[in-house]
Homo-oligomer: A and B are copies of this chain.
Amino acid sequence: MFGMETIQYNLPQSRIPQAWYNILPDLPAPLAPVLHPATHQPIGPDDLASLFPMSLILQEVSAEREIEIPDPVRQIYAQWRPSPLIRARRLEKALDTPARIYYKYEGVSPAGSHKLNTAVAQAYYNQQDGTRRLSTETGAGQWGSALSMACAFFGMECKVYMVRVSYNQKPYRRALMEAFGAAVTPSPSEETAAGRAILAEHPDSNGSLGIAISEAVEVAATDPHTKYALGSVLNHVLLHQTVIGQEAIEQMSLAGDEPDVIIGCTGGGSNFAGLVLPYLGRKIKGRWHARVVAVEPAACPSLTKGRFTYDFGDTGHLTPLVKMHTLGSTFIPPGIHAGGLRYHGMAPLISHVIDLGLAEAVTVQQLDAFSAGIQFARAEGIIPAPEANHAVAEAIAEALRAKAEGKPRTILFNLSGHGHFDMQSYIDYQAGKLQNFEYPEEEIAMALAGLPAVG
């Protein structure tokens, strides 16, 4: 053992958090209410009852700081949680940086990403409520795989609307969902009114998360045995991810270190929220002071270029109105390979903490993200998901700033998933077939012009 450095900071099964951390009661200002799309009045729990079981609806608005994790959920978490916190010592050496770089690695979940944290919880509460089938959307496929797996565990059917560009780019991701028994349909599809409306206007539509959400919501709203499950954006989804940050706090303490900057990529906001919300809870209480950085793709920059206002969560306008950073619900982002980040909006909770100045946001271009992913893979062995490459790129940039300034610092980022099902994007990148995207100014201006008039 002499001379061995610690690489993984591991916790035993008994240290899986007992409760999810709910930041709502700790926020210095409350979240804006969710509004009914027709009346523009705040909605109540019953308005959502056709889509979600009441247990999840109540979590969405809970004022309890700690929400106990049911034993059957923790029992499944125990297969891969607590997930490892890894010190990227070989990457540090390769960068020749004085910074210490840690990553929380959620790719060890059998689904390959953080998404399983909430998929298992949502499947559990639905099963308890007697749901027979869950419908959902998926972009890159991380969420769809996770929910398919969770439905297999709890004996429910699963229907997945997969964004068409990802459906075509990632046949193996679809095969994985089908291996778990899910039914997968490319979106937009002819199966729903929302899908048909898009196809009538754009027969060659690449699809988007906003469109796929409309289709999945429509199916749940019109079938009494089907409920809807969302992989990000909503408070209860972000809540379920807080196991990540709670574990990280304990693991950083094991490492005898404290992050100076925490980094996560943001699409809908869930992996970022999972890592940072427990830290932000401490920041609000003055117990921790450091930077928190959300990284979004330059092609879909809701936090840095969007408007903080009320908008629909989907393109077909079936969802309630939520206050969030949005590029406009009719904006269809360019077909970047980080499909999980192709969402016009942002979790209201993340939008709110950015608005409060508790966190900041930056953008990364597609080519820089892949270049960082390759550099990371050669040093650390793990090939990140294209989404996670955005966090990797910013972590590397921060480490290089530390080097330029000659000032050490501690960087913590969320490596939210592996890229084993995204290899076509690496093939295209290495073949020089990928491109950066200019900020799609006109399309976004048009989409923003269509925002609902609220208040």
Given that A13-B8, A179-B374 are known contacts, is A381 also in contact with B79, CB under 8 Å in the complex?
Answer: yes
Contact A171 B86 (CB under 8 A): no
Considering the chains assembled together, what is the distance between the CA atoms of A354 and B180 in angstroms? 37
Instruction: Return chain B residues, CB-CB under 8 Å to A172.
Output: 172, 420, 423-424, 427
State whether the Cβ of A452 lies closer than 8 Å to any Cβ in chain B. Answer: no
State whether the Cβ of A74 lies closer than 8 Å to any Cβ in chain B. Answer: yes
Across the interface, name the chain B residue whose C-beta is closest to A374. Answer: B179
User: Shortest distance in angstroms between A3's beta carbon and chain B's nearest beta carbon?
Assistant: 5
State whether the Cβ of A75 lies closer than 8 Å to any Cβ in chain B. Answer: yes
Contact of A4 among B74, B110, B153 (CB under 8 A): B74
Contact A10 B10 (CB under 8 A): yes
Considering the chains assembled together, what is the distance between the CA atoms of A111 and B418 in angstroms? 11
State whether the Cβ of A443 lies closer than 8 Å to any Cβ in chain B. Answer: no
Instruction: Return chain B residues, CB-CB under 8 Å to A5.
Output: 75, 78
Contact of A1 among B14, B116, B152 (CB under 8 A): B14
Q: In the complex, how many residues of chain A place their beta carbon closer than 8 angstroms to a beta carbon of chain B? A: 53
| Copies of this chain in its oligomeric complex | 2
Contact with B along A59-73 (1 / 0, CB 8 A): 000000000000100
Instruction: Return chain B residues, CB-CB under 8 Å to A424.
Output: 172, 175
Considering the chains assembled together, what is the distance between the CA atoms of A38 and B4 in angstroms? 46
Across the interface, name the chain B residue whose C-beta is closest to A149. Answer: B381
User: Shortest distance in angstroms between A19's beta carbon and chain B's nearest beta carbon?
Assistant: 12
Instruction: Return chain B residues, CB-CB under 8 Å to A12.
Output: 10
Contact B112 A175 (CB under 8 A): no
Instruction: Return chain B residues, CB-CB under 8 Å to A153.
Output: 90, 379, 381
State whether the Cβ of A260 lies closer than 8 Å to any Cβ in chain B. Answer: no
User: Shortest distance in angstroms between A83's beta carbon and chain B's nearest beta carbon?
Assistant: 11
Q: Which residues of A contact B (CB under 8 A)?
A: 1-8, 10, 12-14, 18, 71, 74-75, 78-80, 86, 90, 108, 110-112, 116, 149, 152-153, 171-172, 175-176, 178-181, 374, 377-383, 418, 420-421, 423-424, 426-427, 430
Task: Give me the 7 closest cross-chain CB pairs, A-B, nearest first.
Answer: A110-B381, A172-B423, A420-B420, A7-B78, A152-B378, A175-B423, A175-B427
15 pairs across A/B with beta carbons < 8 Å? A1-B18, A6-B13, A7-B13, A7-B78, A8-B78, A79-B380, A79-B381, A152-B379, A152-B381, A175-B424, A175-B427, A178-B430, A179-B383, A418-B420, A420-B420
